[in-house]
Structure 1
Amino acid sequence: MQNVSLRPMGIGRILDRSFQLYRKHFLVLTLIMLILYGPFYLLQHLLTYQETAMTSGSILEQIRNGGSLEDMFGPNSTFLQNDPASRGEGYLWRTLTLVLVLFPIMMLGLMPASIASVVHLVKASLYGEETPGVGQLLRKSFARFWPLAGSTFLFGLIVIGIYLGMAIIVGIFAIIFAVGGSLSNAAGGFGGGALAFTIVFFAALGLGSLFTFAYFVIRWGYCLPIVALGEESVGIGRSWGLTRKSFWRLFGMYVVLTLILYLFLIVVQLIVAAVFGLGLGAQLLQSLISILVMSLWFLPYAVSFFDLKVRNEGLGLQSLIDSTIPEAANEHIQIPIDLDKKND
């Protein structure tokens, strides 16, 4: 392994480094994503393409004809008339297969394996090691399959618990305000000032819930790279320590990344739908495009993980010392002992 000095990076540098790695290792990353997610997307579309085409087609038809939002989503719209109860038993079995079989496979198997592969690739690049091939990366990832799956499952339970907690809090306040509004109306009316306060309160509550949810997800969300590298079996507690004092920087990075990628994907999907329609082939093409850019979701996550290790654990510090004092590196001299001798 070559000695390289790793230094802390800001949001722009992390994203720039991620896009550089994407261009440099595009073929390897694409093959990994195709191997892992290609069969999943194919099965998903075989199960749901008819319903997707029917729903999306009705909305696009309304847009072409200049339809209003009421035409598209009103009580008489095709979108709402195609309810699950009217689609037969086959639709129910397809939905159950998707939710109970394919979705758990993707969340507990494919996603952790793809993240682990990207982490190993980024590690090799940052450390100046030889770039592993697709087979090597997949073997390294699946060698930690059960710890990765277990950590993902535990993290998922935590996320669901946080989400339910936020939903319960919002629901309690909604009930309180609903009861208070009813009592106010009975007593003499619900004034405009009270209505404005209610709107502002729930807007603040919604934003507060969003930031609270994002805070805990980010603070505990870096457990997978730790497990993938074999440093710990779970890594949730270690993730909390790594992300200390880094929430807002990481949150800003994910906001920027989400805006860039979602805007790109929405534009591309609209173009594909307009040119190729909404059949199975068009849906598979949209999924292929999503697979091509999927590693861009994981690369900033992996790069920022190593940035956190630099900031909190001194990763790269020894390499920096060795490059600054080559005699100490070559002769394996301990610097503190040498200073003691000099003082004597």
Structure 2
Amino acid sequence: MNDYDDSDWRSPSDGSADHQSPRPRDDAPRFGAYGSPPPGRGGAGQGPAPDGASWAAPADGFFLAPKPGIIPLRPLSIGEIISGAFESLRANPRAMFLPSLIVLTATGALSAVLNYFGTSLLFSNLNSLIDSSDVDSSDVTFSGILSTFVGSFASQVVGLLLTALATTILTGLLIVAVSRSVLGRIATPGEVWERTRGRILPLIGQTLLITLITLVADIIIAIIGIALIAIVTSFIMGSDPGVGAIIAALLVAFALAVLLFFAVVFLIVRLSLAPAALMLENTGVVEGIGRSWALTRGSFWRVLGILVLAGLITGIVNGMLSFGLGLIFGVVALGLPAAQPLVTALTMLLTSVLSALVLPFTAAVTALTYIDLRMRGEGLDVELRRAAGV
């Protein structure tokens, strides 16, 4: 496997050339900016692939495709995407795990400290309320409990926001590290950060915009659904409501819930590759979202299957580890009720550590799905072969 070299092909694209490529430096391939796709790939009116082969089919060079890194440079099967994600963890553990462990452990520790003090104060006020026999002092304590509960909730929200921010940044870094591993090159955490730090603010902005898009879409569907419920119930109920009207309202509400669920899933799938496009093509915030929408067009069920399979894998791993930790801490909490705030804080910290172990795999799946769809639709494998010098 080749060492990382600044003179080699870069990701995100920066116009650099691959010194191993037979092409001139000013015509060197770049990850996100290259010429027309090869014949038979993408775009109407193009001729068939050489020898009648289908460029988009995984069978094209299935056994002969070069594999300089973690995946063969050809359209991938779903199993190859998942195995490639695991391979990326093995090929470059420093870049894949070290940033996640450092950042998420730090944010988890901060969240745990905030949660510990908030929970301790809440339990202290509850004990004071229980032990108090004076009504006036009880009223005062209750007011204190309410403000403490609000403060504790706010500290948890701050912790969640910090974790979400850290996860967004780390996802971008990890996607770039995976793109290097595809070419068989190793990037250190410092080198990955140096290459991607200028894209962090756009990545955060893109994440916020996607969240806003999803939220607005759900609100619109909810408003329409509530209006339909009101119309249906008022039409059936009339002046004498009955069981039929109640059942009809429940059915409409159920249909609304299902519609909201599918709307969220649809948007998650269609926008799931936006971070990869932004990091690996140097696109803008909105342009990256558009790229994800375009790449997933016609591949919705394929991308959904990949995301579901990856989610099942991470869910099983998280579930097994969380169950063991929950069992241990649950026994401790029952035996030592006074230690509940400490147990809650430690649980939050260890949950962040578990997320740091799972996040690299999820980011790798996103990056490889993006690369696979571009190989299928845009001939990216040809460019990658040139960049890898194979």
Cα distance change of structure 1 residues 259 and 124 upon mapping to structure 2, 3 Å threshold: same
AA of the residue aligned to 1:123 = S
Q: 1:28 aligns with which of 92, 95, 100?
A: 95
**Structure 1 equivalent of residue 260 of structure 2:** 209
Whether the aligned pair in 1 keeps the contact of 2:273 and 2:292 (CA below 8 Å) is yes
Q: 2:145 aligns with which of 87, 102, 127?
A: 87
Residue 249 of structure 2 is aligned to residue 227 of structure 1:
no
Whether the aligned pair in 1 keeps the contact of 2:82 and 2:365 (CA below 8 Å) is yes
Deviations 1:35-92 (A, max 9, x none): 221221111122224777999xxxxxxxxxxxxxxxxxxxxxxxxxxxx977342442
Residue 240 of structure 2 is aligned to residue 173 of structure 1:
no
**Structure 2 equivalent of residue 317 of structure 1:** 382
Distance 1:145 1:51 in 2: 32
AA of the residue aligned to 1:295 = P
Q: Look up the SS of the partner of 1:149 in the other structure.
A: helix
**Structure 1 equivalent of residue 189 of structure 2:** 134
Whether the aligned pair in 1 keeps the contact of 2:73 and 2:381 (CA below 8 Å) is yes
Distance 1:141 1:36 in 2: 16
Deviations 1:124-173 (A, max 9, x none): 11122x21111112222322122222222222221221221222233223
**Structure 1 equivalent of residue 324 of structure 2:** 271
Distance 2:74 2:248 in 1: 47
**Structure 1 equivalent of residue 169 of structure 2:** 113
Residue 216 of structure 2 is aligned to residue 161 of structure 1:
yes
**Structure 1 equivalent of residue 137 of structure 2:** none
Whether the aligned pair in 2 keeps the contact of 1:181 and 1:190 (CA below 8 Å) is no
Q: Look up the SS of the partner of 1:144 in the other structure.
A: helix
Deviation at 1:110, TM superposition (A): 2.0
Distance 1:321 1:295 in 2: 27
AA of the residue aligned to 1:286 = T
Whether the aligned pair in 2 keeps the contact of 1:220 and 1:240 (CA below 8 Å) is yes
Residue 299 of structure 2 is aligned to residue 246 of structure 1:
yes
Distance 1:6 1:145 in 2: 28
Distance 2:228 2:347 in 1: 44
Cα distance change of structure 1 residues 52 and 230 upon mapping to structure 2, 3 Å threshold: farther
Residue 257 of structure 2 is aligned to residue 257 of structure 1:
no
Residue 354 of structure 2 is aligned to residue 289 of structure 1:
yes
Q: Look up the SS of the partner of 1:143 in the other structure.
A: helix
Distance 1:254 1:52 in 2: 36
Q: How many residues align?
A: 290
Distance 2:73 2:371 in 1: 9
Q: TM-score, normalised by structure 1?
A: 0.72
Distance 1:143 1:266 in 2: 36
Q: Look up the SS of the partner of 1:117 in the other structure.
A: helix
Whether the aligned pair in 1 keeps the contact of 2:115 and 2:152 (CA below 8 Å) is yes
Aligned-CA RMSD value: 3.4
AA of the residue aligned to 2:369 = S
Residue 247 of structure 2 is aligned to residue 182 of structure 1:
no
Deviation at 1:264, TM superposition (A): 2.7
Deviations 1:281-321 (A, max 9, x none): 34423332232222222221111111122122210124569
- Higher helix proportion (structure 1 or 2): 1
Identity of aligned pairs, percent? 26
AA of the residue aligned to 1:7 = R
Whether the aligned pair in 2 keeps the contact of 1:40 and 1:102 (CA below 8 Å) is yes
**Structure 2 equivalent of residue 299 of structure 1:** 364
Cα distance change of structure 1 residues 317 and 154 upon mapping to structure 2, 3 Å threshold: same
Alignment of 1:8-157 (within 5 A): 8-49=75-116, 87-99=145-157, 101-107=158-164, 109-128=165-184, 130-157=185-212
Distance 2:387 2:168 in 1: 35
Whether the aligned pair in 2 keeps the contact of 1:113 and 1:141 (CA below 8 Å) is no
Cα distance change of structure 1 residues 133 and 244 upon mapping to structure 2, 3 Å threshold: same
Q: TM-score, normalised by structure 2?
A: 0.64
Distance 2:271 2:191 in 1: 28
Residue 290 of structure 2 is aligned to residue 237 of structure 1:
yes
Whether the aligned pair in 2 keeps the contact of 1:166 and 1:209 (CA below 8 Å) is yes
Distance 1:44 1:322 in 2: 43
Distance 2:269 2:351 in 1: 29
Cα distance change of structure 1 residues 320 and 37 upon mapping to structure 2, 3 Å threshold: closer
Whether the aligned pair in 2 keeps the contact of 1:32 and 1:138 (CA below 8 Å) is no
Whether the aligned pair in 2 keeps the contact of 1:155 and 1:220 (CA below 8 Å) is yes
AA of the residue aligned to 1:262 = G
AA of the residue aligned to 1:213 = V
